[in-house]
Amino acid sequence: MKTLSYIEPGKIDVLEKDIPKLSADTDAIVRLVKTTICGTDLHIIAGHTPEVPEGLTLGHEGVGVIEQIGDSVNNFKVGDKVIISCITACGHCDYCKRQMYSHCADGGWNLGHLIDGTQAEYVRIHHADNSLYHIPKNITDEGAVMLSDILPTGFEIGVLDGHVQPGQTIALVGAGPVGLSALLTAQFFSPATIIVMDLDDNRLQVAKEFGATHVINSANKEDAIKQIMEITNNVGVDVAMEAVGYPTTFDLCQQIIAPGGHISNLGVHGEPVTFELNKLWIKNISLSTGLVNTSSTPMLLKTVNAGKLEPNELITHHFNFNQILEAYDIFKHADDNKALKLIISFDEV
């Protein structure tokens, strides 16, 4: 089969590998129908996650059809079309019992990170009963891919961990796919003001269309902070979500947070940041970081199926798997190409 694999920092390529086989009774082999590229994949390629082994197949999102199942898989059968969760959960360890599936003792974020992932024609899914989801009838394959990772990530790590409440003022730093997912799902809780900041005016326009009450180009950080303070009557925001993963964007969050506010970090950071505790200790703020647990996926599936949330709005480009290197180039230069989420199909591989 063909795979998109990490070679070394700065280099990826399409490689031929054997189709995976079942290795445990709880496994499933899934033939990919759709997959996508995540900002985390770019961090891996840049060398920010050195634990990723050379030759690993990238990708942790996708929709596919089950080709084989182990004898202990009970919730699925061969031929089922499924969403592949970015998080693998055994369902039995101490972390899983606390719904901290991202820290599962025999799973967590392993696809495209520690074991071969979904940017391939086939993938082996461990603990299939807890790591796959049936696709409801009203959800398209492409929309379903958005439920593999970015919608649960934006909702859980940004909105739920940020303790968004009705009437609050919230700010999202970064209008990429995850930031926009947080924007869409934050509206479940009716914040009064939603400010979105980014360097890309096209993404800011999309954020406006998705429900932002204010958008700010943050190319000049000091000017952006000044605008935030004008909007909030010099108080700051109740919730600041960092959805980029750079020291400057994290610093922007800590500069605009109001007393008693919360900073929720969604971005993947490849280098240290300066946390100004000397200024913030007196402000009674809280800070959360985390990797998505996908505990909200069943709820989000119902919400999308009911037409209350439209994940297809996040999709801007379509490619065949034979074009995946081109797709990576487009995604790497997302601002220049007005790219959000890319769908990669396997129908002509």
Q: Given this model, what pLDDT does residue 231 score?
A: 98
The superfamily CATH assigns to domain 2-149+294-345 is Medium-chain alcohol dehydrogenases, catalytic domain (3.90.180.10)
Q: Hey, what long-range contacts does 73-78 have (CB within 8 A, 24 or more apart)?
A: 73/25, 73/26, 73/27, 73/28, 73/128, 73/129, 74/129, 75/128, 75/129, 75/132, 76/28, 76/128, 76/129, 76/132, 76/134
**Which residue type is seen at 167?**
G
Q: Quick one: average pLDDT of 21-44?
A: 97
Give the side-chain half-sphere CA count within 13 A for 263.
26
Longest CA–CA span in the chain (Å) reads: 62
Contact 241, 179 (CB under 8 A): yes
Number of H helices, E strands in the chain: 13, 15
Q: Given this model, what pLDDT does residue 348 score?
A: 58
pLDDT band at residue 226 under the 50/70/90 scheme = very high
DSSP code of 103? G
Q: Quick one: average pLDDT of 128-149?
A: 96
DSSP state string for 259-292: EEEEEEE-S--SS-----HHHHGGGT-EEEE---
CA distance 175 to 202: 10
Contact 38, 328 (CB under 8 A): no
User: Same CATH fold, 152-289 and 2-149+294-345?
Assistant: no
CA distance 8 to 171: 36
For 85-119, how does the pLDDT look when each residue is reduced to its tens digit (9 = 90+)? 999 999 999 999 999 999 999 999 999 999 999 99
Give the dihedral sign, CA 222/226/231/232.
Answer: positive
The percent of residues in the chain predicted with pLDDT above 70, rounded, is 99
Q: Where are the domains of the chain?
A: 2-149+294-345, 152-289
pLDDT band at residue 349 under the 50/70/90 scheme = very low
CA distance 320 to 346: 6
Mean pLDDT, the chain, rounded, equals: 96
The candidate with the shortest Cα–Cα distance to 41, out of 335, 334, 347, is 334
For 243-293, how does the pLDDT look when each residue is reduced to its tens digit (9 = 90+)? 999 999 999 999 999 999 999 999 999 899 999 999 999 999 999 999 999
CA distance 208 to 86: 28
Q: Which residues lie closer than 8 Å to 153 by C-beta, 6 or more apart?
A: 178, 181, 266, 292
The candidate with the shortest Cα–Cα distance to 25, out of 88, 68, 89, 55, is 68
Contact 5, 56 (CB under 8 A): yes
In the CATH hierarchy, which fold is given to the domain comprising 152-289? Rossmann fold (3.40.50)
For 40-51, how does the pLDDT look when each residue is reduced to its tens digit (9 = 90+)? 999 999 998 899
CA distance 262 to 285: 6
Q: Quick one: average pLDDT of 74-81?
A: 98
Vertex 33, ends 29 and 36: CA angle to 5°? 105
Q: Given this model, what pLDDT does residue 347 score?
A: 82
Q: Which residues lie closer than 8 Å to 123 by C-beta, 6 or more apart?
A: 20, 29, 30, 32, 57, 59, 62, 64, 84, 111, 116, 117
The pTM score is 0.95
For 173-183, how does the pLDDT look when each residue is reduced to its tens digit (9 = 90+)? 999 999 999 99
Give the count of beta carbons closer than 10 Å to the beta carbon of residue 17. Answer: 15
DSSP code of 56? P
Calculate helix-pair angle for 201-209, 177-186, nearest 10 degrees.
20
Q: Given this model, what pLDDT does residue 213 score?
A: 98
Q: Given this model, what pLDDT does residue 137 score?
A: 86
